[in-house]
Structure 1
């Protein structure tokens, strides 16, 4: 069976000529990945950082083809896609810098000697690669969370091999991204099996079940995440699953902020929940607004009613969007302020805005709707917000808009949301996630099922494990743990030493 692709702008489906990967094909790729891993983990860090930079150059060389292909498979705008590809290229180079830096290794040396509780052995510890990694591409980011995405960059930076499961919404983009990476990897001297790709749902399930796969990175729906977790639970040896699954991302506007800059917040919030068709994991899907802030709400509704339709990624998202909206009204008792309108022959829709009172908010009204939908919650006091947050699922982010003279209220709201999310944003918007050393992109279940981030340099920690060498001869030690000057920061006999310059 071959894989098809659909242009969401028109709804037209065509054959890609790409065959779905068989179970035998998955097994062969896993075996090659395991063999390549044994070679790859012996390569020095400088070689690995060079590989990451070569992959970035390979994507840049194919920019025009990749963006053009993604246009026809996602319906996303060309500037958005080109910017996203630039993001992928940048994060590969950022991880190369991190590999050169070496601080992520957490290198520690405790020399043998007397301790307060008696003689101690020589112990040396650092983080090492975990093994072949399976990565699942996401529908909404054909580059940054797909074949050329952050999971790929962080897994390779850690010293692993990987096999990507291409997303069914953009198979040609996946195949062409993989081809660009594969050419670059081979030119750099990477062993066969360093990178692999599979197509089809059954191939994805077989990949997760394969005993040679040592970790899984997944960005997608909560329902699919549960299916993959069930497969992992059925393995003889369980493995880590790093899933980003569902997020509503509450945004709170204080009375002071609504009064001082309500029009500005209305514009920013509208752009944030409708950007990329509202198909972002950090989209603010629920906004707490004072009951008195009619002008702010009216401005959002007016923009939604005047907006042109945006193309959604696929028929499943398009169909679920209004289905969930109707369910929020019927079961969650929300009121419709702006209903979506279809647009064009493909999977397009205008934004939707719902409203509910804080006292009436229940979990039935807080289901994530992937697409340009916002639920506005009207409140009388900040105590109403704190109480209503119990009905909101834990998320990737929470946002607080407040004024300088509301320090006490902002501190109270920060305390209310800090255990519910992985990132708190002040007087801004959670969409547009920065790729940097300090960025965190995770949150409590169901946002993710792990404490680790999928964005930024610390994402590499997911695909590493600690290994200690006790009383080891020097020749078996990695260079970073040998005595003398080294090019990584490390803790020696309890004292932190910076890398040699």
Structure 2
């Protein structure tokens, strides 16, 4: 039997109707109606989250770990229905949704293990020195504490891993922070069924019902109400540069400014060094084409730019990429709006004399076909818009004259989520020159790979200098992401009977 959404918000453990409804726009299958969020509903959810914080924020690590694991179990119990509605709404293939579901539940379980270990608390103790001269030293103890209710915005391109129970939500809950999610209108049914799983986990473990809320739909005022509500203490966001920057500014302008952890955009440039392209240029072109078109290019780590030295080996690399891209059939994009933005991005490239088409295709309605362009290093540095993200399967080859020019171009890049060096043994010295520049530009630097896979592990950084993200010291993937929703507190001469159990 298929899952049929009821279309309501989840606030303080109750499924709540709104004053009006919107109709979903799935890629396939039936559409459904969903309640539209309002600032008043946002306020109710934020107030319930604050009420929950006084118990959940002071719960034990074991209680929170058990809650995260219960959410994972409840998601897996709904696996078939999640895949069904997720594929209908997003147009993503079932295998992709199943893999993303595994990543989501695996992340929840990883975070449960991580907080059980307790190392994330960063506990520090300086014993009292009562006999120190000229003045005694008090006992001082430090540990990380949760900051309070967190707002999370669901992402269009990851209905599971970066949405309702995705990385931001899992990290906040692991830290001890209740969450209010603004569901993405591209996949409201998927958001609802995941919210049902979280609600079931709340019932199973007995945590406060206000610990999680879901507000569906609504216009810009709903998002603004969420980030400006005085009880919200931080925001997690994955989305467009324009939308994210607007919310970031609102967070900074509050009477009490709060951190906005936004992942906003990246073109993830690759630098293909001379010996590597000489030895395996054709294979690199094929690999780039596969990465560029994975999921219709709708990954924030999609490698949209390849920088090569302008010679015959570059010609072979470009031809190999073009040939591979020609074989890729049109793919369904996540929303009509994303599909239109992709077509607009292609038109922007077509309008520039400094950019030459290598493969030009026509994309219609919600379908996207790959496109490939090339330009010079001089033109790339002179025209900022050439380096702006086009969300979809569009790549650009930047031809430079030398490795010196590669280094110069790298220095002119904006912040990125990833940068990549393709090298062979003979390229080591050139790579050594590039690496210090690239590590200043990105949160993750790769060698001889493609960045579209993001491992959920302790060592992962998914973030980078602006505009890749709004906080270069944070990551939205991996266990270090929990630290975003904690702050250090020192306890001076506090009796052991009053200290947090983890610090006593």
TM-score, length basis structure 2: 0.92
- 1:272 partnered with 2:282: no
Question: For 1:307, which of 316, 325, 328 is the aligned residue?
Answer: 328
- 1:25 partnered with 2:41: yes
- 1:410 partnered with 2:468: no
In the TM superposition, residue 333 of structure 1 has moved relative to its aligned partner by 1.9
| Structure 1 residues 79-102: Cα deviation after superposition (integer angstroms, max 9, x where no partner) | 111000100000000000001000
- 1:469 partnered with 2:488: no
Segments of 4+ moved more than 4 angstroms: 114-117
Q: Counterparts of 2:39 and 2:389 in 1: how far apart (Å)?
A: 34
In the TM superposition, residue 418 of structure 1 has moved relative to its aligned partner by 1.5
Question: For 2:193, which of 176, 185, 207 is the aligned residue?
Answer: 176
Q: Counterparts of 2:158 and 2:406 in 1: how far apart (Å)?
A: 32
Q: Counterparts of 2:283 and 2:125 in 1: how far apart (Å)?
A: 54
SS in 2 for 1:469: strand
SS in 2 for 1:418: helix
Q: Counterparts of 1:269 and 1:447 in 2: how far apart (Å)?
A: 21
Q: In 1, are the aligned partners of 2:411 and 2:437 still within 8 Å (CA)?
A: no
Cα 1:287–1:23 shift into 2, 3 Å:
same
| Structure 1 residues 470-499: Cα deviation after superposition (integer angstroms, max 9, x where no partner) | 1111111012221xxxxxxxxxxxxxxxxx
Alignment of 1:115-194 (within 5 A): 115=132, 118-194=135-211
Alignment of 1:450-465 (within 5 A): 450=471, 451-465=473-487
1:53 match = 69
Q: Counterparts of 1:228 and 1:35 in 2: how far apart (Å)?
A: 25
SS in 2 for 1:232: helix
Point out where structure 1 has 5 or more consecutive residues left out of the alignment: 483-501
Q: Counterparts of 1:280 and 1:230 in 2: how far apart (Å)?
A: 25
| Structure 1 residues 148-195: Cα deviation after superposition (integer angstroms, max 9, x where no partner) | 101011000001100100011111111111111111122111111010
SS in 1 for 2:92: coil
Q: Counterparts of 1:115 and 1:424 in 2: how far apart (Å)?
A: 48
1:489 match = none
SS in 1 for 2:440: coil
Question: For 2:264, which of 239, 245, 264 is the aligned residue?
Answer: 245
Cα 1:415–1:233 shift into 2, 3 Å:
closer
1:499 match = none
With 209-218 and 304-313 compared, the bigger mean Cα shift is at 304-313
SS in 2 for 1:124: strand
In the TM superposition, residue 231 of structure 1 has moved relative to its aligned partner by 2.1
In the TM superposition, residue 115 of structure 1 has moved relative to its aligned partner by 5.0
Q: Counterparts of 2:257 and 2:75 in 1: how far apart (Å)?
A: 34
Q: In 2, are the aligned partners of 1:332 and 1:361 still within 8 Å (CA)?
A: no
- 1:225 partnered with 2:244: yes
- 1:319 partnered with 2:340: yes
- 1:283 partnered with 2:302: yes
Q: In 2, are the aligned partners of 1:333 and 1:365 still within 8 Å (CA)?
A: no
In the TM superposition, residue 8 of structure 1 has moved relative to its aligned partner by 3.0
Q: Counterparts of 2:149 and 2:110 in 1: how far apart (Å)?
A: 22
1:98 match = 114
Q: Counterparts of 1:27 and 1:118 in 2: how far apart (Å)?
A: 50
In the TM superposition, residue 390 of structure 1 has moved relative to its aligned partner by 4.2
In the TM superposition, residue 117 of structure 1 has moved relative to its aligned partner by 6.5
With 331-340 and 351-360 compared, the bigger mean Cα shift is at 331-340
Q: Counterparts of 1:178 and 1:214 in 2: how far apart (Å)?
A: 22
Cα 1:115–1:98 shift into 2, 3 Å:
farther
Q: Counterparts of 1:21 and 1:396 in 2: how far apart (Å)?
A: 32
Cα 1:372–1:39 shift into 2, 3 Å:
same
SS in 2 for 1:396: strand
Q: Counterparts of 1:82 and 1:272 in 2: how far apart (Å)?
A: 19
SS in 1 for 2:236: strand
- 1:112 partnered with 2:131: no
Q: Counterparts of 1:167 and 1:404 in 2: how far apart (Å)?
A: 46
| Structure 1 residues 412-456: Cα deviation after superposition (integer angstroms, max 9, x where no partner) | 111221211111000001111000000111100000011100000
Corresponding residue pairs, total: 477
RMSD between aligned residues:
1.5
Cα 1:57–1:298 shift into 2, 3 Å:
same
Q: Counterparts of 1:247 and 1:102 in 2: how far apart (Å)?
A: 33
| Structure 1 residues 263-289: Cα deviation after superposition (integer angstroms, max 9, x where no partner) | 221121111111111010011111012
In the TM superposition, residue 326 of structure 1 has moved relative to its aligned partner by 2.1
- 1:427 partnered with 2:427: no
- 1:36 partnered with 2:58: no
SS in 2 for 1:84: helix
Cα 1:13–1:229 shift into 2, 3 Å:
farther
With 131-140 and 105-114 compared, the bigger mean Cα shift is at 105-114
Alignment of 1:250-265 (within 5 A): 250-265=269-284
Q: In 1, are the aligned partners of 2:343 and 2:363 still within 8 Å (CA)?
A: no
- 1:386 partnered with 2:415: no
Point out where structure 2 has 5 or more consecutive residues left out of the alignment: 1-19
Q: In 2, are the aligned partners of 1:3 and 1:171 still within 8 Å (CA)?
A: no
Q: Counterparts of 1:416 and 1:263 in 2: how far apart (Å)?
A: 27
